[in-house]
Amino acid sequence: MTHHGSFRLTPLILLGWLCAATSLTATAQTTKDFELKPIDYHNTDTTNPVSRLQDRIDSGKTRLKWDDRHGYLVDLLKTLDVPVSSQVLVFSKTSVQIRRISPRRPRAIYFNDDTYIGWVQQGDILEIIAMDPDLGGIFYTLPQSQTAKPQFRRDRGQCLLCHANRRTNDVPGPVVRSLFTSPSGQPHFGAHTFVTDHASPFSRRWGGYYVTGTHGSMRHMGNTVIPLDRSHRDFDFEAGANLIRLDGLVNTSAYLSPHSDLVALMVLEHQSRMHNLITRAHFEADSIAYYDRLYNKALDRPANYQSDVSKRRIARVADDLLRYLLFVDEFQLKSPIAGTSTFSRDFSTRGRTKHPGRSLRSLDLKTRLFRYPCSFLVESAAFQRLPGPVRKRVASRLSDILHGRENGDEFARLTRDNRHEILEILNQSRPRWWPVPAKTGN
């Protein structure tokens, strides 16, 4: 059944961020490379939206308002500039607050360019991922108990069990996971699970999510569950298609919005992977530089010597990042899509407006997600602070591609107009990493 009466939802579980529900403890995991020098993830001071907010709370410059219905959620969203329209609803049991989540009581997730916030009805905590420009995702919980100076608690390793593995490119960060889900919200263990991003087939997306929006003839796995005693091959792709309201599936009156916007989900998928690829580039380049220094000193080599192996490792992470930010493998939409909330407008208007109509945040929604196939996160602080070797290679190759000097099959989907438009946007927005365009003579 479709969630309309007998509730036959068949969801692919999503999520992957906010501390995965598990009884395992942090001590059960092996030490990860980034927990050691030179990254030293747990012991390095972090600068991110939450750490800055905590400083303001501690100094008395900021107070978080509390309300009986949502605790600190509403004021936290406002303070961190996270739009309510970004709300997506997850009914799979993939959170540390597993007992409070079900298809009848989904978790709400809100996000902006650098922060992800999870809220559960009558939950004990808010779950937060804040992106540090150098360290990647920093995981926090905020107790939902009223106090004069609320304290964000930084995770010491438990969240990394699910948020720092091959699904996240082996770095701490968000992940959007889709899997088959039962009417109780439990995943179908042993069935297929998918980590989704902008390259994922539509049919593999959003299991375990509610989805509001229209998408024509394409089908996804949201809005549907399947009993544990049935094969995932019986999944009904029609049941949850093209829903513009969640009436009959879930009572949304307890939430800040009745929507779980399709376009918000697609932006979330893109930026989650992009964040992790940026973090991976940071970690890899910093580790290479650290060990090069050690070996160069031990072997009495010039301080700036870099081995061929190190150069290839830098090239690999830089090229992977470049391919993703240019949407090389993006799934091509077969039908136009539309969300149901104000997210599309809210997201697009956060972009730069120096050149009317030209912004990397402009949405297409007809054949692809963005109008200009270059990630808006190239203007983020984390991208601006990429280590020199990675930054230089990405900037150099991107410049060659956009100017038409690199025309291999790999970037064949970028039309001449695409390249010109992206080049024009970057030349006008002038992110710090982008080479200053040469002046032309009169």
Strand partners, 142: 126
pLDDT reading at 19 higher than 60: no
> Which pLDDT value is given to residue 15?
38
Each domain of the chain, given as residue ranges in start order, spans 263-429
> Which pLDDT value is given to residue 85?
99
> Which pLDDT value is given to residue 435?
85
HEC readout, 137-179? EEEEEEECCCCCCCCCEECCCCCHHHHCCHHHCCCCCCCCEEE
pLDDT reading at 105 higher than 50: yes
| CA-based radius of gyration for the chain | 22
d(CA 328, CA 252): 37
Instruction: Write out pLDDT tens, residues 230-268.
Output: 888 889 999 999 999 999 999 999 999 999 999 999 999
Question: Who wins on pLDDT, 130 or 442?
Answer: 130
> Which pLDDT value is given to residue 436?
65
The confidence band for 336, taking pLDDT boundaries of 50, 70 and 90, is very high
Percentage of the chain surpassing pLDDT 90? Answer: 83
Give 190's contacts (C-beta < 8 A, 6+ positions apart): none
What's the full length of the chain, in residues?
442
Strand partners, 363: 370
Question: Under a CB-based contact definition with an 8 Å cutoff, are residues 11 and 182 in contact?
Answer: no
Question: Under a CB-based contact definition with an 8 Å cutoff, are residues 156 and 139 in contact?
Answer: no
Residue 430 phi/psi, 5-degree rounding, is 50, 55
The confidence band for 12, taking pLDDT boundaries of 50, 70 and 90, is very low
HEC readout, the chain? CCCCCCCCCECCCCCCCCCCCCCCCHHHCCCCHHHCCCCCCCCCCCCCHHHHHHHHHHHCCCCCCCECCCECHHHHHHHCCCCHHHCEEECCCCCCCHHHCECCECEEEEECCCEEEEECCCCCEEEEEEEECCCEEEEEEEECCCCCCCCCEECCCCCHHHHCCHHHCCCCCCCCEEECECCCCCECCCCCEEECCCCCCHHHCCCCECCECECCCCCCCCCCECCCCCCHHHCCCCCCCCCCCCCCCCCCCCCCCCCCEHHHHHHHHHHHHHHHHHHHHHHHHHHHHHHHHHHHHHCCCCCCCCCHHHHHHHHHHHHHHHHHHCCCCCCCCCCCCECCCCHHHHHHHCCCCCCCCCCCCCECCCCCCECCCCCHHHHCHHHHCCCHHHHHHHHHHHHHHHCCCCCCHHHCCCCHHHHHHHHHHHHHHCCCCCCCCCCCCC
The stretch 1-13 carries a mean pLDDT of 36
The confidence band for 192, taking pLDDT boundaries of 50, 70 and 90, is confident
The confidence band for 95, taking pLDDT boundaries of 50, 70 and 90, is confident
pLDDT reading at 28 higher than 70: no
d(CA 60, CA 353): 35
The stretch 111-128 carries a mean pLDDT of 98
The stretch 264-290 carries a mean pLDDT of 98
The confidence band for 191, taking pLDDT boundaries of 50, 70 and 90, is confident
The stretch 356-361 carries a mean pLDDT of 82
Average pLDDT of every residue of the chain: 91
> Which pLDDT value is given to residue 1?
38
pLDDT reading at 358 higher than 90: no
The confidence band for 134, taking pLDDT boundaries of 50, 70 and 90, is very high
Q: Which residue has the tokens 């983020």?
A: 380
Instruction: Write out pLDDT tens, residues 196-235.
Output: 999 999 999 999 999 999 999 999 999 999 998 888 888 9
Residue 128 phi/psi, 5-degree rounding, is -140, 140
The number of CA neighbours under 13 Å toward the Cβ of 143 is 8
Question: Under a CB-based contact definition with an 8 Å cutoff, are residues 206 and 313 in contact?
Answer: no
pLDDT reading at 301 higher than 70: yes
The number of CA neighbours under 13 Å toward the Cβ of 176 is 28
Distances (CA, A) of 310 to 280, 287, 382: 15, 10, 22
pLDDT reading at 16 higher than 70: no
The total of other beta-carbon atoms located within 10 Å of residue 116's CB is: 25
d(CA 187, CA 47): 35
- Span of 23-37, 231-245, 419-433 with lowest mean pLDDT: 23-37
d(CA 151, CA 154): 9
Residue 349 carries which side chain, given as an amino acid letter? T
The structure's pTM equals 0.92
The stretch 131-153 carries a mean pLDDT of 98
